[in-house]
Amino acid sequence: MVSRNLYTSAIRKASETRIRLGASLNEPLNIYDVCSTMEIDVRFVDINMEGLYVNNGNSPQILISSQRPYPRRVFTCGHELGHHLFNHGLKIDILSESDENSLYKSSDEILVDTFSASLLMPIGGIQSEFVKRNLSFNTATPIDFYLVSSIFGVGYQTLVTHCKINRLITELKSVELLKHTPSKIFKSYFGDVQKKSYFKIVDGKTSTKPVDLEISNYLILPPEFTVDNDFLEKKKETQEGYVYVATRTGISSAYSDINEKSFFIRIQPQNYNGFAEYRHLDN
């Protein structure tokens, strides 16, 4: 059995990291910006693995596989950051779907998984996003949970599992939610697409932090927002919002005169390989 102290240590480290960054204990964080602030190089590589952490003296570096799904890379980066902060030295996380929820993970792996989840999905932050929208965990729909996963930049299944582990939802509710994959959610609300692709949802209560996408990803916005057509192409209008697809690498923006909100949209190439800090630069 895993010691309760292990989980406590991971959660405490996540809180300490937020304090060190000058961030609140509840706000969403961009993991690549976090690593950049902490002077840790993050590089995307075309290798069949999850990620790798190595520290040669004073040059810590995280490698993330560009082959993995977009939100999975985010969680993996948080996982590798955990190895760095807990001084684990060289760590290679091999690609293995069966290991994702394995009962046989080492204590180090459980520690950094818990750290990544706590850093990226603070319980108070999740609760706050539900309260903002007058949502109940018991009655919230799959698209409600998907919206919150978009806010924190993590996968839908990752958020649902995190909520179950932390008793925000019941086992029965998690089973119900996990019957709905992201592709099924997209099809239900926004119709068919030419190919499966990651999508993010932004609503009028979402914070004005930058939204990160890669080319071919979809962005769902309220109709009052205006975007730069050089970077995003409108595909359709639905009751849930306007559907845009990212078409060009670079930094764009969206703004609304109605609610006086604006935010940057940072778009990277599909399956980008290279340093994370350069991911939005147009070739």
19-37: per-residue pLDDT in tens? Answer: 999 999 999 999 999 999 9
**89 pLDDT above the threshold of 60:** yes
The whole-number pLDDT of residue 277 equals 95
Asked if residue 70 lies in contact with residue 214, where contact means CB atoms within 8 angstroms, the answer is: yes
91-124: per-residue pLDDT in tens? Answer: 666 644 444 455 567 888 999 999 999 999 999 9
Q: Is residue 280 part of a domain?
A: no
The whole-number pLDDT of residue 58 equals 77
The whole-number pLDDT of residue 95 equals 47
Examine the domain organization and report whether 19 and 74 are in the same domain: yes
Examine the domain organization and report whether 189 and 235 are in the same domain: yes
In angstroms, how far is the first alpha carbon of the chain from the final one?
A: 50
**Type of residue numbered 201:** I
The whole-number pLDDT of residue 219 equals 97
Percent of the chain with pLDDT over 90: 76
Examine the domain organization and report whether 85 and 129 are in the same domain: no
Residue 132 lies in domain: 124-180
Examine the domain organization and report whether 205 and 167 are in the same domain: no
Strand partners, 218: 199, 245
pTM of the model: 0.92
Q: Is residue 238 part of a domain?
A: yes
Asked if residue 156 lies in contact with residue 145, where contact means CB atoms within 8 angstroms, the answer is: yes
The whole-number pLDDT of residue 112 equals 95
Examine the domain organization and report whether 83 and 155 are in the same domain: no
Q: Is residue 283 part of a domain?
A: no
Examine the domain organization and report whether 173 and 192 are in the same domain: no
Name the domain boundary from 165, 180, 195: 180
CATH number at residue 210: 2.60.40.2020
Region 120-135 average pLDDT: 97
Examine the domain organization and report whether 223 and 267 are in the same domain: yes
> What are the counts of helices (DSSP H) followed by strands (DSSP E) for the chain?
9, 13
* 224 Cβ contact list (under 8 Å, min separation 6): 204, 256, 257, 258, 259
Examine the domain organization and report whether 40 and 96 are in the same domain: yes
Name the domain boundary from 138, 163, 180: 180
CATH number at residue 69: 1.10.10.2910
Region 83-90 average pLDDT: 85
Q: Is residue 277 part of a domain?
A: no
249-261: per-residue pLDDT in tens? Answer: 999 999 998 888 8
The domain total for the chain is 3
The whole-number pLDDT of residue 36 equals 96
Q: Is residue 278 part of a domain?
A: no
Examine the domain organization and report whether 172 and 146 are in the same domain: yes
- Quote the CA–CA distance of 74 and 30 in Å, as a whole number: 8
